[in-house]
Every structure is written in structure tokens, then in C-alpha cells.
Chain A
Amino acid sequence: MQSGEYGVRVWDLPVRLFHWLLVLLFAFMFFTGKSGSDWMEWHMRAGYAVLALVLFRILWGLAGSTHARFSNFLAGPSTCLDFAKKLLKRAPAPYAGHNPLGGWMVLALLLALLFQASTGLFANDDLLSEGPLASLISKTMSDRLSTLHSWNFNLLLLMAGVHLLAVLYHAGFMKENLIGAMFTGVKHLPADAAAGSTPARFASPWLALVLLLVAALAVYLIVKRPF
């Protein structure tokens, strides 16, 4: 922390836990997805966890803390363009929450993950495993969705790479430690940016727990279809 900077608490515990659990699950999904039938059972179980996490994050984006909300970080085109210019010039452009481009990336990543999990539910590996909803549709359709599942994974891998490069760019050229902030929840901002940012309101972690349970229940009902 340099002098003249203020530590501002921006990321709540649910956002941070969501982020790092997702990182671990993403690596696990990558490994199990490429390792054949031995791991397919675990690939599917972890996939349900990913789906529950993503659904939770969407709910949290509507009802969670200030910087977790879509309304807080989905900016208009001119704001995005201004930010992109500053970024290329390496001019300082600190944001308390997500920056305008990062905000859209959050939404894009969530949608791509949602698509990935949904197609997985209907996919088959032409061997011994199929998603819990594959029996509801024809084999031809399941094959098509399986193909989309593997294409979309390559897209996700690319997006994760861009996300990582962007964070490293911020660390290297903008002197912003975004990775540390995702661990501690605290961002170090220049005084004016700290003063100018909307004071954050933090939603109760209990609400997060309830929303997570709602998301998990939804996934359980989709996968098991008890009705």
C-alpha cells in the first residue's frame, strides 16, 4: 500500500468464496472432462456444484452487496470506451468494484458457464455416461449438445485466459493488485477514487446462505426430477 491510498472493503465473503471455489471447480472440471469414463461420475457431480454456484451468483447479482450487483457494474458503451482508452494508455483508472470491461466479462463468464452446465445436463460421451436429462431428448439432439459442450469449453478456456491476462495487466501496468483484493476483499484506492466511489452496502451473509440453498435445491430438482 502506497501513501495516499485508502483500503476500501469491496468484495464480500460470498463473492470471494464463489470466485475461488469456481476456480478450483473449473480446474477439476477440466481434468475430469478429459480423463475418460473413470472420472465422468465426478465430472457430473462437480458440474452440479458449478451450476448451483452460478445460479447463486446470478441471484447475488440481483440481491447481494453493492459491488456484487449487476446494476453496479454493467456500464454503458461510452463508459466502457473511455475506460478502454485509459487502459491502453496505461492511465490510472481505479474502480472500487468491477471496472466497466471487467463487469461485462463477469456477465459473459457467468452466461458461458451457465450454457456449459446446461448442455452438460443433456450431453453423452458415446460410451457409458450421459447427463441426467439426456434421456429426455433424442440421441441426435444429445450428440449436438455434447458437441456444443466441448466447443463452449474451449471458449471458456479462452475467456479464463483473457481474464487472467487482464488481471496481470492491471498488476503490471496499472499497479493494481486485483488478485490480493479477491482474497482479502480490500482494494487499495487513491484518495479521490476512494472518496468518489459509492459507499458500499454489504448484504447479510445469511441471505447469501439462503440464496445458495435455493440455488442448490433448484439444481437438485433439475437433476433428480422427483416429481
Chain B
Amino acid sequence: MRTKLLAIAMAAALGGASLEALAQAKPDVLVKQRQAAMTLQGKYLGPIGAMLKGAAPYNADTVALNATFLENLARMPWDGFNPSTQGEKSKTKPEVYKEMDKFKLAYERLETETAKLGAVARAKDEAGVRAAFGGVAKACGACHDDFREK
């Protein structure tokens, strides 16, 4: 009985410790992670843009793959904007933490727009991609304007 209790206590302590460790991801690491997610967004956004501009031949498979990556990447950076990161060097404007609701609306807009893009891209609907892509680019730009230093 005592050993069982001890085991439970230890498990709880360890579990608590590992959760604690997760919650306390170091601020500089959080910044790197969210920047990495957005760097990758650039990686997968760029080629679609080039194809739609006619700078590269249109390839529906590449567009579908990239749009799917984008859809997933669009959900990744935001929990990295933890108040603990405010002292870190980045282009984040303080408004992110002052106007959390507005910031949330801005990134949810990207999530919505990339989901639309992913759907039409996987359906190999080029006209749909053309329309949805503008929505994604606008969502990126609008959030940059409000929440990113020049």
C-alpha cells in the first residue's frame, strides 16, 4: 500500500515536473520556434505566388502540397507569443500583448484563409487557388501591418 502510494506520488511529481517544464519553455526558444514556423510559411507561400504570377509553370500537385503545409503551419506560431517573450529581441510590436483579442482575430483569419486555400488546392481548382491565395496574402499583410515592427 505504502509503495503504491509512493509510486503514485512520484508519478504525480514527475508528471507535474514535465508539464511544468513544458509550460516554462524558455522565452528565447519560444521566439525561435514561432519564427521558424513563419519562416516555413514563407517557404511554402513563395512558390505558389511565383506560379500565380507566371514566374514559374503552374503545378497543381506542388500547390496542393504547399497549401496543405501552409494550412498546418498557420496554426503553429501563436502560442509562442507568450508574455514571457516580451523582453526578447524580435519584430513583435507590444500591441500583440496589449490587444490579445485583436491579435487572435488576426491569426484566426490566417487559419481560416489557409484552410480555404488548402481545400481548393487539394481539389486542383486553379481558379479557386487564385482567389483564395489573395485572401491568405492579405491576412499575412494585415497582421504584419498591425503587429510587426517595420
Which residues of chain A have a CB within 8 Å of any CB of chain B?
A: 36-38, 125-128, 146-147, 150-151
Contacts of B137 in A (CB 8 A): 36-37, 127-128
CB of A223 to closest CB in B, whole Å: 15
CB of A77 to closest CB in B, whole Å: 35
Q: Are B150 and A127 in contact, with the CB atoms below 8 A?
A: no
Question: Which of B42, B134, B145, B148 gathers the greatest number of chain A CB atoms within 10 Å?
Answer: B42
Contacts of B16 in A (CB 8 A): none
Contacts of A126 in B (CB 8 A): 42, 144, 148
How many residue-residue contacts, CB under 8 A, span A and B?
28
- Picked from B46, B138, B148, B150, the residue with its CB within 8 Å of the CB of A37 is B138
A-B contact pairs, 8 of them (CB 8 A): A37-B137, A38-B138, A126-B42, A127-B140, A127-B144, A146-B150, A147-B150, A151-B150
Q: In the bound complex, what is the Cα–Cα distance between A181 and B140 (angstroms)? A: 46
| B49 in contact (CB, < 8 A) | yes
Q: In the bound complex, what is the Cα–Cα distance between A38 and B45 (angstroms)? A: 15
Q: Are B49 and A128 in contact, with the CB atoms below 8 A?
A: yes
Contacts of A37 in B (CB 8 A): 137-138, 141
Contacts of B140 in A (CB 8 A): 127
Contacts of A38 in B (CB 8 A): 134, 138
Proximity bits, B63-92, A CB within 8 Å = 1, else 0: 000000000000000000000000000000
Q: Are B46 and A36 in contact, with the CB atoms below 8 A?
A: no
Q: Are A128 and B150 in contact, with the CB atoms below 8 A?
A: no
Contacts of A128 in B (CB 8 A): 45-46, 49, 137
Question: Which of B140, B141, B144 gathers the greatest number of chain A CB atoms within 10 Å?
Answer: B141
Closest to B138 in A: A36
Closest to A34 in B: B145
Closest to B42 in A: A126
Question: Which residues in chain B, 81-127, are within 8 Å of chain A measured between CB atoms?
Answer: none
Question: Which residues in chain B, 43-59, are within 8 Å of chain A measured between CB atoms?
Answer: 45-46, 49
Q: Are A150 and B144 in contact, with the CB atoms below 8 A?
A: no
Q: In the bound complex, what is the Cα–Cα distance between A134 and B137 (angstroms)? A: 20
Contacts of A146 in B (CB 8 A): 150
Closest to B50 in A: A128
Contacts of A36 in B (CB 8 A): 137-138, 141-142, 145
CB of A130 to closest CB in B, whole Å: 10
Contacts of B142 in A (CB 8 A): 36
CB of A43 to closest CB in B, whole Å: 13
Contacts of B134 in A (CB 8 A): 38
Given contacts A36-B141, A151-B150, 17 further A-B contacts (CB under 8 A): A36-B137, A36-B138, A36-B142, A37-B137, A37-B138, A37-B141, A125-B141, A126-B144, A127-B42, A127-B137, A127-B140, A127-B141, A128-B45, A128-B49, A128-B137, A146-B150, A147-B150
CB of A39 to closest CB in B, whole Å: 11
